[in-house]
């Protein structure tokens, strides 16, 4: 177990006004399903002017009010894309980078890492927002899955250096790993620091959606995507919550 202990999601989120964008992945408390949560937050009008929209094979961010969209380059992307026997979730257009690499080269078990070695943090001076990513691979015939997380970030704010970190996990019942772009609010905003945080996970998509959405900062939260994949191969359950309606 992590020397930092297992965290309750509500404690991590309610005490941090601006974790930015976040990914949680792990195994449900009953051990029957893979669980994914991805959320976005925003401080600027442009960042807050977004919704999540599902489509066949993926999920996109979209401007809620197109007339207010200023710069789409870092805020409009596919956070979720399906791949063969797997799911890819990221906070930017590197979702497409991972999927395109797999389509072109196959997956030898290291496609996630190889594809992300072609990318680096976002060029948004002075924050240099990290790129966070996750990939899940399912073996439904065995009722199992594995998952990886990654963060690409500047070296303590030095844009000349990109440090790439990768984490590979064997699922444990009722536990997940949580990585987010920012350690906390600030100016410039400090990048996430350390290993992904270990969190307790519930059983259902609704329970996960409730605990995440209800504990994100009310002013800064924008959208939430939940995907729960039964390991027996039955139909996944998804929930999308948009603050802009």
What is the per-residue DSSP string for 22-42?
Answer: EEEEEE-TTSSEEEEEEEEE-
Q: For residue 170, what are the contacts with CB-CB under 8 A and spacing of at least 6?
A: 146
Statement: residue 31 has pLDDT above 60? yes
157-185 as b/e: b if 16+ CB within 10 A = eeeeebeebeeebebeebbbbbbbbbbeb
pLDDT above 90 for 2: no
Is 224:37 a contact under the CB 8 Å cutoff? Answer: yes
* CA–CA distance, 152 with 130 (Å, rounded to integer): 5
Residue 7: the pLDDT is 98
Whole-angstrom Cα distance, residue 157 to residue 175? 31
pLDDT (0 to 100) of residue 182:
98
Place of tokens 């019942």: 173
Average of per-residue pLDDT across 22-30: 98
Q: 64-116, pLDDT tens digit by residue?
A: 999 999 999 999 999 999 999 999 999 999 999 999 999 999 999 999 999 99
pLDDT in tens, 197-216: 999 999 999 999 999 999 99
CA distances from 27 to 34, 98, 116, 138, 175 (A): 5, 23, 24, 12, 6
Judge whether residue 10 has pLDDT over 60: yes
- At residue 3, the pLDDT reads 61
- Summary mean pLDDT of the chain: 97
Residue 55, classed as helix, strand or coil, is strand
What are the structure tokens assigned to 15, written together?
């005490």
pTM listed for this prediction: 0.97
**pLDDT of residue 159 exceeding 70:** yes
């Amino acid at each position: 177990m992590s020397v930092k202990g297992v965290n309750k999601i509500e404690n991590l989120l309610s005490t941090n006004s601006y974790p930015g964008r976040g990914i949680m992945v792990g195994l449900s408390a009953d051990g029957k399903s893979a669980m994914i949560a991805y959320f976005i937050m925003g401080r600027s009008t442009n960042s807050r002017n977004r919704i999540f929209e599902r489509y066949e094979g993926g999920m996109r961010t979209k401007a809620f009010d197109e007339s207010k969209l200023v710069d789409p380059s870092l805020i409009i992307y596919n956070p979720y894309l399906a791949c063969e026997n797997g799911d890819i979730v990221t906070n930017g257009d590197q979702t497409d980078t991972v999927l395109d690499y797999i389509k072109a080269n196959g997956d030898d078990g290291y496609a996630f890492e190889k594809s992300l070695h072609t990318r680096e943090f976002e060029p948004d001076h002075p924050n240099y927002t990290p790129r966070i990513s996750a990939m899940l691979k399912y073996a439904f015939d065995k009722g199992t899955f594995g998952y990886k997380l990654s963060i690409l970030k500047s070296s303590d704010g030095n844009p000349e250096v990109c440090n790439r970190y990768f984490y590979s996990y064997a699922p444990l019942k009722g536990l997940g790993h949580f990585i987010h772009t920012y350690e906390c609010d600030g100016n410039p905003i400090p990048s996430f620091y350390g290993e992904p945080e270990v969190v307790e996970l519930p059983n259902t998509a609704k329970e996960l959606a409730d605990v995440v959405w209800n504990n994100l900062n009310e002013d800064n939260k924008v959208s939430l995507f939940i995907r729960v994949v039964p390991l027996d191969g039955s139909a996944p359950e998804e929930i999308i919550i948009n603050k802009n309606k």
